[in-house]
Amino acid sequence: MNLYEYMGKEIFRKYGIPVPDGYVIENVGELKKFEYPVAIKSQILSGKRGKAGGIKFAKNAEDLKTFSEQLLNSTINNLTVKKLLIERMLNIKKELYLSITLDRATKQPVIILSADGGMEIESVPEENIHKIYIDPMVGYSDYIAREALSYLPVENKKQFSSLLESLYKAFVGEDALLTEINPLVIDAENNIVAGDSKVIIDDNALYRHKDYMITDPDKTDLENEAASKSFTFIEMDGDIGVIANGAGLTMATMDALTLHKLKPRNFLDLGGTDNIEIVEDAFSFVMRARPKLIFVNIFGGVTKADTVANGIVSSKKKFNIKQQIVVRLSGVHEEEGQKILLDSGIKAFNNMTDAVKELSKIQGVE
């Protein structure tokens, strides 16, 4: 789960990482008396927010109100601005980059640092990016900060060491996949402050962090609702509603559609279940995404083919589905399942290639 800047900064504050004074508003009525100048920062999950006009600066109350009105509910990088973070403006002397993320190759947390902060880390030259790996069985130790400091033009070394240790504690303690500070600001008084935050929390660990977790700001409402029912459901641009079982098979389904120039409307992994109601729930989400055509791709195992067949038939009735449903049923109880479908007028294929060809034919993209 991607967190908004202000949520990440709340975490930073909890771990003792300095952040600028500030507060969040959802409407201009919530604006407070505050020391000027201030930064007005649109809370959207998007890079290059500043370039797109999502960050403005105000020298007085009048400007603050005007800009806040402009930004609230505006659309920036295709996202609607629902919240603003109003922050004391920093007197920036230097901008650095600092993050901790999980390195899948070594299975270790890795600290990434650069003296070139304030821009996307991807655009920083390789030789200016430094990585320090942390062995999770050993954890953080002070020498790591000393090494980090050898790459950065920081005078207040103690403050940096304690910030880095706190960031590692936050990374571990909050089950983060990423804790990023960009820019890490050195201000005119040589104090180090987190100018921005980008924090991603492991979805699988959200049960340990119920305090501040509500809905994933990075997901659509429908996706969030599906997540609450434990479906992995992702909305996409196309027109073919997809239900498959298993993440790998679902992804392979998407791939097969794409290779045939067919466009999925969604990704939905039914998971390992043997329950008609769950099939119906899956259909309810897919139907609400309004697909033109539906593709159900099942390889029966734990999820038995006949159960899915029954779920398809009952969903068709329950949701009054008019769209054509193309089904591929294979694996455990394949024959029973195909018979059930045939009885209610749905032809089921037993291999994926044939089913995808049928979809191509219907869509006329052969």
Partner 1 sequence: MVIINKETRVIVQGMTGHQGTFHSGEMIKFGTNVVAGVSPGKAGTKVNGVDVYNNVIDTLPLKPDASMISVPAPFVKDAALEAMENGIKLVYILTEHVPVHDTMELYHEARRKGVFLIGPNSPGITVAGQAKIGIMPNNIFRVGDVAVASRSGTLTYEIVKAVTDAGYGESTVIGLGGDPIVGTTFSDIIRIFNDDPQTKQIVLVGEIGGNEEEKAAQYIKEHVKKPVTGYITGISAPPGKKMGHAGAIIEKGTGTAESKIKAFKDAGIKVASYPDDIPELLKK
Q: Catalytic residue positions?
A: 97, 180
Minimum gap (Å) between residue 111 Cβ and partner 1: 13
Closest CA to 1 of 164, 183, 193, 210: 210
Q: Which stretch binds partner 1 (CB under 8 A): 61-69, 146-154, 181-189, 191-199?
A: 146-154
Tell me the one-letter amino acid at 100.
Answer: I
Q: Which stretch binds partner 1 (CB under 8 A): 23-31, 265-273, 314-322, 339-347?
A: 265-273
CA 324 to chain centre: 32
Work out whether 232 is an interface residue with partner 1 (CB under 8 A).
Answer: yes
Contacts of 60 (CB under 8 A, 6+ apart): 36
Contacts of 270 (CB under 8 A, 6+ apart): 231, 243, 244, 245, 278, 279, 282, 298, 303, 308
Work out whether 239 is an interface residue with partner 1 (CB under 8 A).
Answer: no
Binding partner 1 (rule: CB under 8 A), the pick from 105, 125, 320, 364 is 105
Work out whether 246 is an interface residue with partner 1 (CB under 8 A).
Answer: yes
Angle between helices 5-14 and 157-173 (to 10 degrees): 110
Considering the complex, state which of residue 68 and residue 114 has its C-beta at the smaller distance from partner 1. Answer: 114
Work out whether 131 is an interface residue with partner 1 (CB under 8 A).
Answer: no
β-strand partners of 327: 296, 348
Work out whether 254 is an interface residue with partner 1 (CB under 8 A).
Answer: yes
Binding partner 1 (rule: CB under 8 A), the pick from 32, 125, 143, 211 is 143
Q: Which stretch binds partner 1 (CB under 8 A): 20-28, 68-76, 318-326, 328-336?
A: 328-336
Tell me the one-letter amino acid at 59.
Answer: K
Binding partner 1 (rule: CB under 8 A), the pick from 29, 33, 127, 204 is 204
Closest CA to 31 of 73, 2, 60, 1: 60
Work out whether 48 is an interface residue with partner 1 (CB under 8 A).
Answer: no
Work out whether 353 is an interface residue with partner 1 (CB under 8 A).
Answer: yes
| Location of structure tokens 């953080």 | 140
Could you give the angle at the alpha carbon of 230 between the alpha carbons of 225 and 234, nearest 5°? Answer: 60
Binding partner 1 (rule: CB under 8 A), the pick from 250, 273, 307, 310 is 250
Strands 129-133 and 293-300: unpaired
The residues that touch partner 1, with contacts defined as CB under 8 A, are 102, 104-105, 107-109, 122, 135-138, 141-143, 146-147, 150, 172, 175, 177, 202, 204-205, 207-208, 232, 234, 236, 244-252, 254-259, 264, 267, 269, 272, 299, 301-303, 330-332, 351-353
